[in-house]
């Protein structure tokens, strides 16, 4: 199916958005979370953004999602995702998103 401005493809396979402009990081996180395995959590700058922590502009404008997985598990490797292995610390849910704890983030 050809891409049109109103059907801009997201960075993740088989996920699309009906928006003329690229999706925000939060919209990308929402889209990814629908297919995300239960062992994956948002971490690093993505978790900070979900928690509502202030981020420097360079991190705020980087739309790649940080995803952490348990130690010994293969971290996701795809366009738009920065995978990390080894979730240390607590995991919580914020606005329905699985994220590293505020302290860990």
Residue-wise pLDDT tens digits, 52-91: 999 999 998 899 999 999 999 999 998 889 999 988 778 8
pLDDT tens, residue by residue, 6-32 = 333 344 555 555 555 657 888 899 989
> CA 31, CA 86: separation in Å to the nearest integer?
23
**33-48 mean pLDDT:** 93
Q: Residue 75 — φ and ψ, nearest 5°? A: -70, 145
Give Cα separations from 8 to 4, 12, 49, 54, 91 (angstroms). 6, 12, 23, 28, 32
**26-55 mean pLDDT:** 93
> CA 53, CA 37: separation in Å to the nearest integer?
25
Domains contained in the chain, number: 1
Whole-number pLDDT of residue 29: 92
Whether residue 20 lies inside any domain: the answer is no
Is residue 44 pLDDT above 90, yes or no?
yes
Whether residue 69 lies inside any domain: the answer is yes
Structural domain harbouring 90: 25-100
Whether residue 41 lies inside any domain: the answer is yes
Whether residue 66 lies inside any domain: the answer is yes
Q: 44-51 and 25-33 are packed helices; what angle lies between their axes, rounded to 10 degrees?
A: 100
CA count, 13 A, side-chain hemisphere, 47 = 23
Whether residue 18 lies inside any domain: the answer is no
For the entire predicted model, the pTM comes to 0.79
């Amino acid at each position: 199916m050809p891409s049109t401005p109103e059907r801009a493809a997201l960075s993740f396979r088989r996920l699309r958005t009906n928006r003329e402009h690229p999706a925000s990081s939060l919209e990308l996180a929402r889209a990814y979370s629908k297919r995300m395995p239960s062992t994956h959590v948002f971490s690093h700058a993505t978790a900070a953004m979900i928690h509502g922590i202030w981020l420097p502009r360079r991190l705020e404008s980087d739309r790649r999602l940080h995803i952490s997985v348990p130690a010994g598990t293969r971290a996701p490797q795809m366009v738009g995702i920065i995978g990390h292995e080894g979730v240390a610390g607590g995991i919580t849910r914020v606005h329905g998103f699985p994220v590293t704890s505020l302290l860990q983030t």
